[in-house]
A = this chain, B = another copy of it.
Amino acid sequence: MSTFETTQLPEIGKRIRNSRLSAGLNLHELARLSGISAPALSLIENGKRDLRLSSLFRIAGALRVEATNLLHAQAENLVTPDALGGSGYNLGDYQ
């Protein structure tokens, strides 16, 4: 089996579940909001379904999170160079 099926899909499912619980929703409510049935959501959250991109976006929309944040472990607190008011270059360790 591929690492996608054994590792990535389950991880994506966990992120969806975390987001749903953070939003204080049960499967039935997320089903209503996303238009994806509760049984299907259960399979997805448990990493047992290779969902379509449209489903990922519907879920993300219903949970008000970025689809990207459901795909990968969040690099949370990323910041654009602009927000730092600097030259736009990242000087790294240089000083």
Contacts and interface: CB of A to CB of B under 8 A. Distances in A.
Stoichiometry, as copies per complex, reads: 2
Interface in A41-91: 50-54, 56-58, 66-68, 71-72, 75, 77-81, 83-85, 90
B72 A4 contact: no
Contacts of A9: 53-54
B90 A54 contact: no
Interface residues of A, number: 32
A24 interface: no
B81 A71 contact: no
A12 B67 CA distance: 13
The 4 closest A-B pairs by CB, nearest first: A78-B78, A68-B68, A50-B54, A50-B52
